[in-house]
Amino acid sequence: MEIKLIKSKNSKISNVDYDNLGFCKYYTDHMFICDYIDGSWQNFIIQPFQDLSLSPACTTLHYGQTIFEGLKAYRNQEGEILIFRPDKNAERFNKSAERMCMPKIPEDIFIKSIEELLSVEKAWVPEGEKNSLYIRPISFALDPYIGIKPADNYKFMIICGMAGGYYSEPVNVKIETHYTRAVSGGVGFSKTAANYAAALYPAVEAQKEGYHQLIWTDGKSHEFVEESGTMNLFFVINNQLVTPPLGDTVLDGVTRDSIIHLSKLLNIDVDVRKVSVKEVISSLESGSMSEAFGAGTAATIAPIKSIGYNNKKYNLPEISEKSISNTLLNKLSNIKFGRELTELNWLKKISK
Ligand code: COI
């Protein structure tokens, strides 16, 4: 696989306010782009970050045949650049592609294009424990076609943006029992635009009531909690860490998977099982829920401050140093920044 490099003449990096990175407020100087034409991926180019030109009849704009990923690269104390679990994102990207009738990207192309782009953009990976470079691979249909069928032509691209924290404070979430994010047999497990677009209206309604996010419940009975749209969910109930199972309605989060794995290494009692709304509320009422948090690439581990249900707000205790979420966050950070060597093989170092 040959990647053509067209370097940008002027870097934008001097505009970065490192004290105010925000989340993807600053895109890097370059992007990766390639085409799917006649049944194969071709024309691999790293070029200056720029706008695209699309036909107004492009099927993505009308019918939403598009998928994406999110992963992060970190700068360790030696200044080396480490990408966290890109193979898991490649795997999930291809699961999404299959469900959306889109061409898969071979894992070696997915990872090599990220590595090559990052070796050009190394300077953009910020220092700091809370900072990273967010990497956003995306694929979308290109055909100028009005009508319903899978497209023949696609683009695969990677853009990157500097990332500080996604949530600046512990979050208030509302249990949603009217609107539905996903149903069995649908596309809930797929990282596709439709899931996020459909969630906007209910999320905006909840934001008017002071919530940051929703806790989605199953689309059939609304009795079981599933995920939060930007994050998977974890609860500590009677000192046990519990998280809902995946199925086809929940996104298979890389952070979720890492947390389950690390909990086992740390001898934290962890259970993947159905969690009912009833259990969430009764454990909040009795005080047996000591922690709740979301887990996602953008959000990392985001403590939940309060949970709303039926016009009532239930507050959670403040997170202490010794809390399970803090213990997991520290462990995860140590691994991501390469401070703790493990046999997990979760890091890909940019060698060039
Ligand atoms: C991610 O965590 O990577 C996502 O795509 C979620 C989005 C809120 C940025």
User: If you average pLDDT over residues 298-316, what whole number do you get?
Assistant: 95
The reported pLDDT for the residue numbered 49 is 98
CA of 87 to the centre of ligand 1 (A): 17
Give residue-wise pLDDT tens across range 67-92: 999 999 999 999 999 999 999 999 99
The Cα 349–Cα 308 span in angstroms is: 42
Q: What is the pLDDT of residues 175-205, one digit of tens each?
A: 999 999 999 999 999 999 999 999 999 999 9
pLDDT at 352 over 80: no
Residue 342: predicted pLDDT: 80
Protein residue with least CA distance to atom 7, ligand 1: 230
pLDDT band (50, 70, 90) for residue 127: very high
Contact 189, 248 (CB under 8 A): yes
Per-residue pLDDT at 194: 97
Please state, as a whole number, how many other Cβ atoms lie within 10 Å of the Cβ of residue 326: 16
Helix (H) or strand (E) holding 203: helix 193-208
What domains does the chain contain, in order, with CATH numbers?
4-163 (3.30.470.10), 171-336 (3.20.10.10)
Select from 319, 314, 279 the least CA-distant residue to 301.
Answer: 319
Q: Using one digit for the tens of pLDDT, what is the confidence trace for 102-119?
A: 999 999 999 999 999 999
Token digits for 31?
């992007």
Task: List all residues 6 or more positions away from 347 whose beta carbon is below 8 Å from its beta carbon.
Answer: 82, 83, 84, 335, 336, 338
* Residue to mutate, 190, 213, 230, 300, ligand 1, most ligand atoms under 8 Å from C-beta: 230
User: Ligand 1 atom 6: the closest Cα is on which residue?
Assistant: 230
298 lines ligand 1 (CB under 6 A): yes
| Amino acid (one-letter) located at 41 | W
Distance 224 CA to ligand 1 centre (A): 23
DSSP per-residue codes, 270-336: EEE---BHHHHHHHHHHT-EEEEEEEETTTEEEEEEEEEETTEEEEPPPPPTTSHHHHHHHHHHHHH
Residue at 177: amino acid letter? T
**What does pTM read for this prediction?**
0.96
pLDDT one-digit tens code per residue, 273-299: 999 999 999 999 999 999 999 999 999
Q: Does the Cβ of 296 fall within 6 Å of ligand 1?
A: yes
Whether 300 shows a pLDDT value over 80: the answer reads: yes
195 lines ligand 1 (CB under 6 A): no
Determine the residue of 166, 167, 250, 300 to mutate for testing ligand 1's pocket, defined as the one with the most ligand atoms within 8 A of the Cβ atom.
166
Rounded distance from Cα 231 to ligand 1 centre (Å): 8
Residue located nearest, by CA, to atom 9 of ligand 1: 298
Of the candidates 77, 91, 89, which has an alpha carbon nearest to the alpha carbon of residue 114? 89
Query: Quick check: 69 and 89 in contact, CB under 8 A?
Result: yes
Measured between alpha carbons, how far is 207 from 184 in angstroms, rounded to an integer? 27
> Using the 8-state DSSP alphabet, how is residue 122 labeled?
G
296 CA closest ligand 1 atom index? 2
- Phi, psi dihedrals of residue 23, rounded to the nearest 5°: -125, 110
Residue 229, ligand 1, Cβ within 6 A: no
Distance of CA 132 from the midpoint of ligand 1 (Å): 14
301 lines ligand 1 (CB under 6 A): no
Specify the ligand 1 atom closest to the Cα of 134.
3
> How far is residue 153's CA from residue 34's CA, in Å, rounded to a whole number?
11
